[in-house]
Amino acid sequence: MTAGNMAEEHGRKWDRCLADTVLKTATGLGVGIVFSVLLFKRRTWPLAFGSGLGVGMGYTNCQHDFRSPYLIHGRVVKDQ
Amino acid sequence: MLRACLRGANATARNHCRRSPGTSLQHCRHYTAGESSSGASKVIATGLLTVSGGVGGTILYAKWDHKFRAAVEKNVPYSDRLLGLALGPAPQDVGLPVKNQVELAQPPSMMEKQVKAPKAKSEKKVKDSAGSPAKEPSPVVTQPAQSIEEMSQEASAEATHIISAISEVPSVPAPCDTEAAAVKEECKECHDHKDTPAAVHPNAESPSAAEPLKERPVEEVAARLAQQDQEEQDILASVSASLEESLASSAKATLQAIGAQEAALQAITQHTHKLKEAMEAEEKSAQWKDLEAALADRTCSVNDAGTALLKANEALGALRSVIDDSKGLKIAAVHPLVLAAEENLHNMIVDLDKVVTKVQSAESEAKIVSQYSELVNEAKQQFQREVSSLTPEIQANWKGLTGKLSADDLNALIAHAHRRIDQLNRELAEQRVREQIHIDAALEQQKLEDQKALEKAVNTSLQHVKEDARLEQERKLAELREVMEAEMRTQLRRQAAAHTDHVQDVLKVQEQELRAEADQVLSSKMLEQETRYRQLNQEQLDNFTLDMNTAYARLKGMEEAIDSHVVAEEEARRAHQLWLSVEALNYTLKTADADVPTVPLKSAAEAVRDSCHDNDFAMALASALPEESLHRGVYSEASLRARFNSLRSLARRVALIDESHNSLYQYFLSYLQAALLFEDKQEAPPTQLSREDLDPFKLLSYASYCLEHGDLELAAKLVNQLRGEARRVVEDWLTEARLTLETRQVVSLLSAYANAVGLGTTQAP
C-alpha cells in the first residue's frame, strides 16, 4: 500500500458512492417518468417509486462498498 | 428537476382531488364527519393497539428466544422488570454439577485388621506367657512334672478365656489399650499360675515353690539343695540314732523278758515235773524240799518274768512313740528305718506274746498238776487220819512196821482195809455214776476256758495279722514311693539333659553371632584404615596436580595475554571501521525531507555489512534492516507527524464504524459524533491505560501529545490500540511509523554496539 492510500480511500469511496447514488436516482426518476407517461396515466407515484428505487440502490451499493472490508465469505462444506 | 417533478405531482394530485369534489367531498364529508367525532379516538385506539401489539409481540418473542430477551433487557431500560413480571426470571445457566464429596470412611477391613492385630498380639502374648511359665520351672529342679502339665492346662484355659473376652469388644480399640489389657490379664494369669503351683504342690521338699516363679541363679539353687540335704541328713541321723537307741533298749528289754519268761517256763516245768515225781514217789523229804525249792524258784522266776515283761512292754511303748514321732517328720529316707523298726517291734511283740502264752500254758498245766497233787495229798492225809484213827499207835510210816503189829491189829487193819475197800468201791461206783456229770461239767468248764483261751489267742493272732498287713502295706508303699522317686529322677534327668542340649545350642548360636559381630567390626575398621590411606594419597596427588595446574595456567595466561593483545589491536581496527560505517548509516537517516523519504539505505547497509564480516551480532543487526528501508528509504518523524494530524480528523469521523456497525446510518452517526464531540488536542497519556482510555478520541489526543513531544514509539503504540474502521484508516501510517522505528532502532543498536566495541578496544593510557 502506498502512502496515504487508506486515508484517501475513504474520500474516494464517498465520491464513488455519491456519484453512484445520484446517477441511480436520476436514472430511476427517468425510468419512472417514462413509465408514468407511458403506462400509468401520468400518475406521480411511478416517479417517486423510481427515484426511491434509485436512491435505495445507490444507498445499498454505498453501504456494501463501505462494508466490503468486513464481509466474510463463507462456504458450506458438505460431508461427502 | 426533482422539485419540478414533485410540484407537478402535487398539482396533479390536487387536480385529482378537485376534479371529483362531489364524490370526494362526500367522502371527505364522511371522512370529516367521521373524523371530527372519532378521529382522535381512532388515532388513540390505533396508537394503543400498535403499542400493545408491539409490546406483546416483543414479550412473546422474548419468551421464545432467550437471546432476544437478553438483548432487549440490555438495550431497553426497565424492560427486564417488565419481562420478569410477564415471563418470570430469566433462566440461569445450569452451573457445573456439584461434586459429591466422597467421604473416605475407614474401610471395614482396616477396622478388622486393627481388631485382629491386638487379638493376634494378645494370643501370641498369652501363648508366650503360657510357654514361659512352662519353661520357667525347668531350671527349678525340684518341681515335679505334674505341676507343669497342670499349669499348661491352666494356661490354655486362660488363653481361651482371654480370646473369648477380646472378641466381645465391639469398636476399634486402641492398640495400646488392648495391649495394656492383655498385659494386665497376662499378669493376672501369671499370678494365678504362680499361686496354683504353690497350692498344688504338697511337698515340703521345695519351699521355693511358695515364692513367685522366677529363675534363681544356679548357685543359689545348689546352695538351697545342699542346705536341704544337710537338714535332711541331720534329721535322718537324729531319727536313726533315736530309733536305734530305742530299738536297742527295747530289744534288750524284750530279750530279757523273753529270757525271764523262758526261765520261768523252765522253772514251772521243773516244778511240775518235781511235783509229779514227788507225787509218784512215797516219801522223800529231799524231794519235798526240792519241790519247795522248785516252787520258790518258780515263784521267783515268775515274778522276774512279770517285771521283765513290764519293762519290755514299757520299752516297746517307748519305741512305738519314737516310731510315731519319726513318722510325723515325713522324710522319705526315714521310712525304711521306721519300717524296719516297726517290723522289729512287731517281731518282738510276737515273740513276747508267744513266750507269754507258753508260760501261761505251762502255768495252767502246773496248776492242774498242783491240783492233782493237792488232791493226792489230801487223800493221803485222809488215809493217814483214818489209819491213825483206827490204829493210833501205828505211826505214819507203817510200811516198816511189819513185825511190830499184833494179830488184832492186823485183823482190825484188815477189816479196816476191807471196809475201806468197800467204801472205796462204793465211792468208785458213785464216782462212776457221777463221772459223766463231772466230765460234762469239766468239759464245759474246759470249753469255756478253751473258748476264752481261743478268743484271746484269736485276738492276739488277729492283732498280729493286722500288724503284719499294715507293715506289708507300709513296705509296699515304701517300695512304690521308691519306684516313683526313681521314675521322677529319670524324668528330671531327661529334662536336665534336654536343658543342657538347649543350652549348648544357644551357646553355639551366640558364639556364631559374636563371631559375626567381631568380623564385622574388624572389616569396618580395616575399611576405615584403607579409606584414610587412600584419602591421604589422593590428597597428595591433588595437591601436586593443583600446583602443576596453577603453573600451567599461569603460563597459559601469559600466552593468552600476549595473544589477546594482538587480537585486541585487530579488534580495535575493525571496531573503528564499523563505527565509521555506522556513522555513515546514521547520517543517511537524516536526509529525509518533509513528505519525501530518505535515500535508500542500501549502500550504507552494505558498507556496514562489509565492515563487520566476522561479527555475528553486527551482521544480524545489519541484516535486520527492513527491506523497505533499504530499497525505498524511510520517512522522517516530522513528515509522519504532519500526516498524523491530517489522519486524525478522518479517524475521528469513522470512530463508530467497526465490523458489526458499518451501515450508512452508522456512518451518519459517526460523523455526528465527530462533529459534536470535543476533546483535548493533546493530552498526556497515563502510565497505565485503563478501559476508558481506549476510546479512539482519547487515544488520538494521547498520540498527538506523544508525537509533539517526539515519542514516535509511544504514539505508534497508542495508535495501535484503535479498532475498526479507524484502525483501517491509519493502518498504512502505522506501517510507516513501524518501519521508521525499526530502522532507527537497528541503527541506534548498531551505533551503540560500535561505540561499545570502540570503547572496549580503546586502551587506557
B487: which 3 cell numbers? 521314675
Tens of pLDDT along B254-276?
888 888 888 888 888 888 888 77
Contact A66 B729 (CB under 8 A): no
Domain assignment of residue A47, yes or no = yes
pLDDT at site B512: 97
Alpha helices in B97-201, H assignment, sequence order: 108-135, 145-167, 175-200
- Within 8 A by CB and 6+ apart from B367, the residues are none
| Residue B10 cell numbers, joined | 402535487
More confident residue, B36 or A26: A26
B134 pLDDT band (50/70/90 cuts)?
A: very low
CB A62 within 8 Å of CB B662: no
Smallest CA–CA distance, residue A70 to chain B, in Å, is 5
In a domain, A74, yes or no: no
Beta strand spans in B467-625 (E) = none
* Within-domain flag for A33: yes
Flag if B647 and A48 touch (Cβ within 8 Å).
Answer: no
- Weakest mean pLDDT among A57-71, B13-27, B497-511: B13-27
Does the structure show a pLDDT above 80 at B139?
no
Nearest alpha carbon to residue B130 among B193, B219, B67 = B193
Residues of A in contact with B737 (CB under 8 A): none
Q: Tell which wins on pLDDT, B169 or B56.
A: B56
> Which of B7, B648, B664, B727 is the mutation pick for testing A, counting most A CBs within 10 A?
B664
Report chain A's C-alpha Rg in angstroms: 19
In a domain, A26, yes or no: yes
Q: What are the pLDDT digits (tens) for B405-457?
A: 677 778 878 887 888 889 889 988 888 888 888 888 888 988 898 899 899 98
Band (pLDDT 50/70/90 cuts) for residue B213 is: low
Taking the Cβ of residue A74 and every Cβ of chain B, the question of whether any pair is shorter than 8 Å is answered with no
Residue B93 confidence (pLDDT): 55
pLDDT in tens, B648-662: 999 999 998 888 888
CA dihedral sign, ordered B437, B440, B444, B449: positive
Cα B174 to Cα B490: distance, rounded to the nearest angstrom:
49
Q: pLDDT tens across B385-418, in order?
A: 877 776 665 555 555 555 666 777 788 788 878 8
Q: Which of A3, A29, A66 sits opposite B664 (nearest CB)?
A: A66
Whether B593 and chain A come into contact, CB under 8 Å, resolves to no
CB contact under 8 A, B736 and A3: yes
How close B629 gets to chain A, by Cα (Å)? 14
Mean pLDDT over each residue of chain B, to the nearest integer: 78
pLDDT at B513 over 90: yes
Question: What integer is the mean pLDDT of B63-67?
Answer: 88
Per CB-CB distance under 8 Å, the chain B contacts of A7 are 646-647, 650, 729-730, 732-733
Bridge partners of residue B596, in order along the sequence: B593
Structure confidence by residue, pLDDT tens digits, B157-182: 565 555 555 554 444 444 444 444 44
Best-predicted range by mean pLDDT (B23-37, B544-558, B600-614): B544-558
- Partner-chain contact B732 A1, CB within 8 Å: yes
Kindly report the backbone phi and psi dihedral angles of residue B549, in degrees, each rounded to the nearest multiple of 5, phi listed first. -60, -45
CA angle at residue B325 from B319 to B330, to 5 degrees? Answer: 130
**Å from B756 to nearest chain A CA?**
37
Gyration radius from chain B CA atoms: 80
DSSP state of A22: H
Given an 8 Å threshold on Cβ–Cβ distance, is B650 in contact with A42? Answer: no
Portion 8-67 of A in contact with B at CB < 8 A:
10, 29, 33, 42-44, 47-48, 51, 59, 62-63, 66-67
Whole-angstrom Cα distance, residue B702 to residue B718? 7
CB atoms B650 and A10 under 8 Å:
yes
Q: Is A69 in contact with B728 (Cβ distance < 8 A)?
A: yes
pLDDT grade, residue B473 (50/70/90)?
Answer: very high
Give B36→chain A minimum CA distance, Å: 29
Mutate which: B639, B661, B662, vs A, most A CBs within 10 A = B662
Instruction: Establish if A46 belongs to a structural domain.
Output: yes
Task: Give me the pLDDT at residue B587, please.
Answer: 87
- The three cell numbers of residue A64 are 456494501
Mind telling me how many Å the CA of A1 is from chain B's nearest CA? 7
pLDDT, tens digit, 9 for 90 and up, residues A21-50:
999 999 999 999 999 999 888 888 899 999
Nearest to B190 by CA among B257, B267, B134, B259: B134
Nearest to B730 by CA among B651, B649, B638, B645: B651
Q: Model confidence at B131, in pLDDT bands (50, 70, 90)? A: very low
> Does A51 reside within a domain?
yes
The three cell numbers locating residue B731:
493502518
Residue of B34 and B643 predicted with greater confidence: B643
Residues of A in contact with B733 (CB under 8 A): 6-7
Residue of A12, A37, A61, A66 best to disrupt the B interface, most CBs of B under 10 A: A66
The verdict on residue A29 lying in a domain is: yes
Question: In the prediction, which pLDDT does B254 show?
Answer: 82
- Residue B335 in contact with residue B240, Cβ under 8 Å? no
Q: Is residue A6 part of a domain?
A: no
Position B535 pLDDT exceeds 90: yes
Of A3, A10, A48, the CB nearest to B732: A3
| Residue range B12-27: mean pLDDT, rounded | 54
Nine cell digits for residue B430: 458213785
Q: B729 and A69 in contact (C-beta within 8 Å)?
A: no
CA B176/CA B174 separation, integer angstroms? 5
Taking one residue from A and the other from B, the number of pairs with CB-CB distance under 8 angstroms is 58
Q: Who wins on pLDDT, B615 or B1? A: B615
DSSP-derived secondary structure for B241-256: HHHHHHHHHHHHHHHH
| Parent domain of A27 | 13-67
Instruction: Look at residue A3 in the predicted model and tell me its pLDDT.
Output: 52
Closest-approach residue (CA) in chain A for B661 = A67
Would an 8 Å CB–CB cutoff place A5 in contact with chain B?
yes
Mean pLDDT of B477-503: 95
**CA-to-CA separations, B48 to B44, B55, B72, B76, B82, in angstroms, rounded:** 6, 10, 21, 19, 18
Share of chain B above pLDDT 70, in %: 75
Q: What is the mean pLDDT of residues B487-491?
A: 96
* Residue scoring higher pLDDT (B118 or B421): B421
CA dihedral B65, B68, B69, B75 (to 10 degrees): 180
Asked whether the predicted pLDDT for residue B86 surpasses 80, the reply is yes
Of A1, A42, A69, the CB nearest to B12: A42
Phi, psi of B658 (to 5 degrees): -150, -160
pLDDT (0 to 100) of residue B347 = 86
Q: Which of B282-286, B303-307, B492-496 has the lowest mean pLDDT?
A: B282-286
Q: Select, from the ranges B94-103, B565-574, B604-613, B636-645, the one with the highest average predicted confidence (pLDDT).
A: B636-645
Residue B410's pLDDT is 81
pLDDT digits (tens, 9 = 90+) for B691-748: 887 889 999 999 999 999 999 999 999 999 998 888 888 999 999 999 999 999 998 9
HSE-CB of B242 using CA atoms within 13 angstroms: 17
**Contacts with A69 from chain B: Cβ below 8 Å:** 728
Contact A43 B732 (CB under 8 A): no
How many C-beta atoms lie closer than 10 Å to residue B238's C-beta? Answer: 13
Question: What average pLDDT does the segment B456-477 reach?
Answer: 92
Burial string for A3-37 (b: 16+ CB within 10 Å, else e) reads beebbeebeeeeeebeebbeebbbbbbebbbebbe
**Closest partner residue to B663 among A10, A63, A69, by Cβ?**
A63
Closest listed residue to residue B122, CA positions, set B65, B185, B77, B182:
B182
Q: Decide if A75 contacts B675 (C-beta within 8 A).
A: no
| Segment B142-159 mean pLDDT | 54
Q: How many domains does chain A have?
A: 1
DSSP string, B367-431: HHHHHHHHHHHHHHHHHHHHHHHH-TTS-S-GGG-TTT--HHHHHHHHHHHHHHHHHHHHHHHHH
10 Å CB burial of residue A71 (0-12, 13-18, 19+) is: exposed
ipTM of predicted assembly, 2 dp = 0.87
Which position has the grid cell 553486527? Answer: B618
The predicted pLDDT at position B395 comes to 53
If phi > 0 it is left, if psi is from -120 to 50 it is alpha, else beta; for residue B32 that is alpha
Q: Which of A55-59, B314-318, B329-333, B388-392 is modeled with the greatest confidence? A: A55-59
Test A42 with B664 for CB contact under 8 angstroms.
no
- Residue B323 neighbours by CB under 8 Å, 6+ apart: B243, B338, B341, B342, B345
Nearest to B140, CA basis, from B225, B228, B232, B226: B225
Q: Kindly list the distances between the CA atom of residue A45 and the CA atoms of A30, B10, B12, B17, B580, in Å, as whole numbers in the listed order.
A: 13, 11, 11, 15, 81
State how far the Cα of B359 lies from the Cα of B271, in Å rounded to an integer: 13
Residue whose grid cell is 595446574: B549
**Phi, psi for B687 (deg, rounded to 5):** -70, -30
pLDDT of res. A49: 92
Confidence category of residue B127, pLDDT binned at 50, 70, 90? very low
Q: Quick one: pLDDT at residue B401?
A: 55
